[in-house]
Amino acid sequence: NSITETYNVHGAAVNCCPMDVTRTSDNLNGPENFFSFNVYGRDLKKKLVDKLMGQALNPGIDVPFCIEDVERCETIRDVENLLSLIYGFEDAYDYYERSSVAGKLDKVAVPLYVVSSDDDPFFEGDARPSTSFAKTTKFLYTERGGHCGNILHTGDAPDVRVGDDGRLLQCSWMPDELARFVDHVASEISPTESGLGNVGV
């Protein structure tokens, strides 16, 4: 179709992608979600504040906030209220709303595969778009996996092999699962249609 011809994009596969950031952002901004807030939120906030402070103190960088604004940040949302201004958003909520994909999946014109897990602490309360709405999208929610934890699960992945540098290599379940989907999409495309001599995964 015209989309694939214009952008040479024939499909996509993603892991741990939030559908509605307006619903999941609270997981890092309040003690209600103990694990995300305490294990990730506080450390992440400190790193973000340090980065913003470095920008505010650098006379060679023009940012729409001052040192005092950064010092008042108490949550990740406070930080994102400042950070979003750099990229043309009104505030964090504007960024969350415009970055959410739940209501836009009906516009996806190529096959899309989304792999996430039911116990991802970052995505508690996230939207679950119906396949009748997102007709080109396939969803897989594993019972366990946490946030990107499936990258460590070997499952039925190929046996261990030795790399050129002598290290033991084994593809874990998640990248192998995503690669199978990409390989399937690539197998449906002729080299002439794709504009590529071959498609690698």
Please name which of 43, 19, 24, 17 lies closest in space to residue 92, comparing C-alpha atoms. 24
What DSSP line would sit under 106-170, residue for residue?
GG--S-EEEEEETT-GGGTT-----TTTSTTEEEEEESS-TTTGGGG--TTPPPPEE-TTS-EE-
pLDDT band of 192, cuts 50, 70, 90 = low
Enter the pTM of the model: 0.79
Cβ(30)–Cβ(38) below 8 Å = no
Q: Three-state SS string across 43-82, please?
A: HHHHHHHHHHHHHHHCCCCCCCCCHHHHHCCCCHHHHHHH
3-class secondary structure, 179: helix
Cβ(12)–Cβ(115) below 8 Å = no
Per-residue pLDDT at 155: 59
Reported as type and span, the H/E element at residue 4 is: helix 2-7
Summarised one tens digit per residue, pLDDT across range 42-75 is 788 899 999 999 999 999 999 999 999 999 998 8
Cβ contacts of 39-43, under 8 Å, gap ≥ 24:
40/121, 40/122, 41/75, 41/76
Summarised one tens digit per residue, pLDDT across range 138-176 is 999 999 888 887 766 665 555 666 778 877 666 778 888
- Please state the φ and ψ torsions of residue 139, each to the nearest 5 degrees: -110, 140
CA-based radius of gyration for the chain: 20
State the Cα–Cα distance between residues 187 and 54, nearest whole angstrom: 48
Per-residue pLDDT at 158: 55
Summarised one tens digit per residue, pLDDT across range 105-120 is 999 999 999 999 999 9
Tokens encoding 33: 């979600």
